[in-house]
Structure 1
Amino acid sequence: MFNIALFGCGRIGKVHAVNIAANPETQIRAVIDPYQEGAMQLADQYGADVMTVDEAMSDPDIHAVCICSATDTHADLIELAAKAGKAIFCEKPIDLSLARVRTCLEVVEASGVPFLVGFNRRYDPQFRTLKDLFESGAIGKAETLVITSRDPSPPPVDYVKVSGGIFRDMSVHDLDMARFIMGEDPVSVSAHGSCLVDPEIGEAGDIDSAVIVLHFPSGAMANIINSRRSGYGYDQRIELHGSKGMLKAGNVREHLVEHWGEEDCSSAKPQYFFLERYEKAYIAEWQHFVDVLEGKVEPQCSGYDGEQALVLAEAALESLNAQNTVKLG
Structure 2
Amino acid sequence: MKQVALFGAGRIGGIHAANLAGLPGVQLKYISDPFAEAARRLAEKYGARADAHPDAIFQDPAVSAIIIGTPTTTHSALIQQAAAAGKHIFCEKPVDLSTARAQECAEAVAKAGVACMIGFQRRFDPSFSEAKRRLDDGEIGTPEMLVITSRDCAPPPIDYIRSSGGIFRDMLIHDFDVFRWILGDEAVWLSATGASLVDPAIGRAGDVDSVVVSLRTRSGRLCQINASRRAAYGYDQRFEVLGSAGLLACENLRPTAVCQMDARGVHLDKPEHFFLQRYREAYRLEIEHFFQQLETGASFRTGIADGVAAQRLADAAARSLASGQAVVFD
Secondary structure of the structure 1 residue equivalent to 2:232: coil
Q: Which position in structure 2 is the counterpart of 1:44? A: 44
- What are the residue-to-residue correspondences of 1:289-304 with 2, within 5 Å? 289-304=290-305
Counterparts of 1:156 and 1:80, CA distance in 2: 30
Matches within 5 A, 1:100-115: 100-115=101-116
User: Counterparts of 1:170-319 in structure 2 under 5 Å?
Assistant: 170-319=171-320
Please tell me the residue identity of whatever aligns with 1:172.
I
Which amino acid letter does the alignment assign opposite residue 151 of structure 1?
D
Runs of 4+ in structure 1 displaced over 2 angstroms? Answer: none
| Counterpart for residue 10 of structure 1 | 10
> SS at the partner of 1:144?
strand
Secondary structure at the aligned position of 1:189 is classed as strand
Any idea what SS the aligned residue of 1:159 has?
helix
* 1:144/1:242 contact within 8 Å kept: yes
* Equivalence for 2:89: 88
Counterpart-to-counterpart distance in 2, 1:42 and 1:155: 23
Contact map agreement 1:25 1:290 (CA 8 A) in 2: no
Q: Write out aligned runs for 1:143-162 (5 A).
A: 143-162=144-163
Identity %: 47
| Residue identity matched to 2:245 | K
1:22 has 2:16 as partner: no
Could you tell me how far apart the structure 2 residues matched to 1:36 and 1:234 are? 31
Structure 2 Cα separation of the partners of residues 258 and 103 of structure 1: 50
Give 1:35's aligned amino acid. F
In the TM superposition, what is the alpha-carbon distance from 1:25 to its structure 2 partner?
A: 2.2
Per-residue CA deviations over 1:95-148 (Å, capped at 9, x if unaligned) read: 101111111211111001010011111110010000000000001111110000
Q: Are the aligned partners of 1:114 and 1:292 in contact in 2 as well (CA < 8 Å)? A: no
Report 1:49-88 matches (<5 A).
49-51=49-51, 52-88=53-89
1:316 Cα deviation after fit: 0.6
Give the structure-2-normalised TM-score.
Answer: 0.98
Quote the Cα distance in structure 2 between the aligned partners of 1:254 and 1:302. Answer: 31
* 1:188 match: secondary structure: strand
User: Helix, strand or coil for the counterpart of 2:254?
Assistant: coil
> Normalising by structure 1, what TM-score?
0.98
Deviation for aligned residue 1:50: 2.1
Q: Where does 1:122-133 land on structure 2 (aligned, <5 Å)?
A: 122-133=123-134
Name stretches of at least 5 consecutive residues in structure 2 with no aligned partner: none
Pairwise CA distance, 1:282: 0.3
Distance 2:70 2:269 in 1: 34
